[in-house]
Amino acid sequence: MRTITFEQIASAVEGLCIKANTQIGADVKEALEKAHAAEASPLGKTIIGHIMENNAIAETEIVPICQDTGMAVVFVTIGQEVFVEGGLTDAINEGVRRGYEKGYLRKSVVKDPLIRVNTGDNTPAVIHYDIVPGDKLHIMVAPKGFGSENMSQLKMFKPADGVEAIKKFVIEAVEKAGPNPCPPIVVGVGIGGTMEKASFLAKKALLRHIGHHSEKEHIAALEKELLEKINNLGIGPQGLGGNTTALTVNVETYPTHIAGLPCAVNINCHVARHTEIEL
Amino acid sequence: MKAVRLTTPLTQEALRQLKAGDTVLISGTIYTGRDAAHKRLVEALDRGEDLPFNVKDAVIYFVGPCPAKPGQVIGSAGPTSSYRMDTYSPRLIEQGLTGMIGKGLRGPAVVDAMKKHGCVYFVAIGGAGALMARSIKQAKVIAYDDLGTEAVRELVVEDFPVIVCIDAEGNNLYEQGRAQYQRA
């Protein structure tokens, strides 16, 4: 057994919340640079230039890239030989509380979805746990803005509908979202499992390094085809026209039932925040 | 692209010169408001009360800023998705609102009200909140303080960068821009 304290976890999460909200990932930076060079629309090119300038200001001045500093989505992989001194969930929420306060991040969480009073500290986080062998604790914080989150979709297809129905569904979701999720976007697709598993996979797909395709050949081919078709829609940077609508399409899959073909689409904006630590 | 310089208040005469696709630098006073504030503004109108600011020829910015760090006027302050204000915008346009700044699609009822009464929809760059905060020189909460980030603020801006997305004739850059770059 290896002991990790409440304070170690809270402190790590605090740092991750601030870092994720103020520093753009190297993969996103690189993808934006490529898009800037390739964008055909002069206005679209100018917009990508402004986005890059914004990211540089945020990193230098340690201020949020976007004012929607999101709901904190936390992915935890915990080795079964780890003993956490103090509650793990409490420690993560304490880290979120401190990070959002100390980082001057916007508190965007309401206590009840219908009564809608702000909790004032951006808690609770949405936390996903995965238990694995070993004695390590891996934490990833992915603050999720709702401009893009609100554009998500889920559909339970019949097995007979097949991959063509999935392609149509993903492209229509992006088309319907149009300018709302702040293109250029990252598209996460989850196929298989159950209803909630497909949604989880779509979220997880957003965290994959831009430029890394699926190891499964048929899925990698699907990702490339979807990206090309999405960029042919013409939506462009901020939806004002152009050939950069998405930076990447990432598809995650899981075994499913003989009767089903669940598919979820989760969209991220160009900020595509996530950062991680191993304790 | 040469930017049009615009100073608030935004009169009917000035807004008729603006065409979808124009890049604009706004200076002067603008007001903030998003979901919860809009709900309260329209409820105030329903009760026959005055609004907390003069809406005639005013420009409203759909934003919920981050808290200001010490030494900052305001935290990151990019636009929020405008469609969530579609329920309320026609009411404010009827009252004389002439400009809205946000991002994303607007519904047909909003566009109809814009054409009928004369109003322009500007878009700012979503996600570029750190960059946009630089054009905000003063910020003061003037109503609904209890709403926190959603409170109504009076902002003094200088060369605040936006793009005319839907003009008072209903020309829509989202449609025109996309049509130009769409490939079968």
SS (H, E, C) A43-81: HHHHHHHHHHHHHHHHHHHCCCCCCCCCEEEEEEEEECC
Determine, yes or no, domain membership for B17: no
Determine, yes or no, domain membership for B25: no
For A149, the closest chain B residue by CA position comes to: B81
Determine, yes or no, domain membership for B15: no
Total domains, chain B = 1
Q: Find how far residue B173's CA is from the centre of its chain.
A: 16
Q: What is the pLDDT of residue A9?
A: 98
Q: What does the alpha-carbon distance between residue B10 and residue B168 come to, in Å, rounded to a whole number? A: 12
Residues contacting residue A218 through CB under 8 Å, at least 6 positions apart: none
Determine, yes or no, domain membership for B52: yes
Q: Contact A244/B102 with Cβ under 8 angstroms?
A: no
Kindly indicate the confidence band of residue B2, based on its pLDDT and cuts at 50, 70 and 90: confident
Residues contacting residue A152 through CB under 8 Å, at least 6 positions apart: A173, A199, A202, A264, A265, A266, A267
**Cβ neighbours around B50 below 10 Å, total:** 9
pLDDT at B78 over 70: yes
Q: What pLDDT, in 10s, does the model give residues A157-182?
A: 999 999 999 999 999 999 999 999 99
Q: What is the pLDDT of residue B36?
A: 95
Q: What pLDDT, in 10s, does the model give residues A73-112?
A: 999 999 999 999 999 999 999 999 999 999 999 999 999 9
Which chain B residues contact residue A268 at CB under 8 A?
none
Residues A134-163, mean pLDDT to the nearest whole number:
97
Kindly indicate the confidence band of residue A2, based on its pLDDT and cuts at 50, 70 and 90: very high
Which chain A residues contact residue B146 at CB under 8 A?
none
Kindly indicate the confidence band of residue B1, based on its pLDDT and cuts at 50, 70 and 90: low
Judged by a CB distance cut-off of 8 A, whether residue A69 touches chain B is: yes
Mean pLDDT of chain A, nearest integer: 97
Judged by a CB distance cut-off of 8 A, whether residue A147 touches chain B is: yes
For B184, the closest chain A residue by CA position comes to: A232
pLDDT at B136 over 90: yes
**Residue among B66, B179, B180 whose CB faces A104 most closely:** B66
Determine, yes or no, domain membership for B163: yes
Q: Which domain holds residue B58?
A: 31-182
**Residue among B36, B123, B131 whose CB faces A53 most closely:** B131
Residues A255-262, mean pLDDT to the nearest whole number:
98
Q: What is the pLDDT of residue A18?
A: 98
Residues 85-104 of A with CB under 8 A from B: 104
Q: What is the pLDDT of residue A174?
A: 98
Residues A59-77, mean pLDDT to the nearest whole number:
97
Q: What pLDDT, in 10s, does the model give residues B86-129?
A: 999 999 999 999 999 999 999 999 999 999 999 999 999 999 99
Please give the radius of gyration of chain A, using alpha carbons only, rounded to the nearest integer. 19
Q: What does the alpha-carbon distance between residue A226 and residue A232 come to, in Å, rounded to a whole number? A: 10
Determine, yes or no, domain membership for B70: yes
Q: Find how far residue B57's CA is from the centre of its chain.
A: 12
Residue of B81, B135, B163 for testing the chain A interface, max A β-carbons within 10 Å: B81
Q: What pLDDT, in 10s, does the model give residues A22-44?
A: 999 999 999 999 999 999 999 99
Judged by a CB distance cut-off of 8 A, whether residue A29 touches chain B is: no
Q: What is the CATH number of the domain that holds B149?
A: 3.20.130.10
Residues A129-135, mean pLDDT to the nearest whole number:
97
At position A126, the amino acid (one-letter code) is V
For A134: left if phi > 0, alpha if psi spans -120 to 50, otherwise beta; the answer is left
Interface size, chain A vs chain B, as Cβ–Cβ contacts under 8 Å: 164
**Residue among B72, B104, B130 whose CB faces A65 most closely:** B130
Determine, yes or no, domain membership for B14: no
pLDDT at B184 over 80: no
Determine, yes or no, domain membership for B20: no
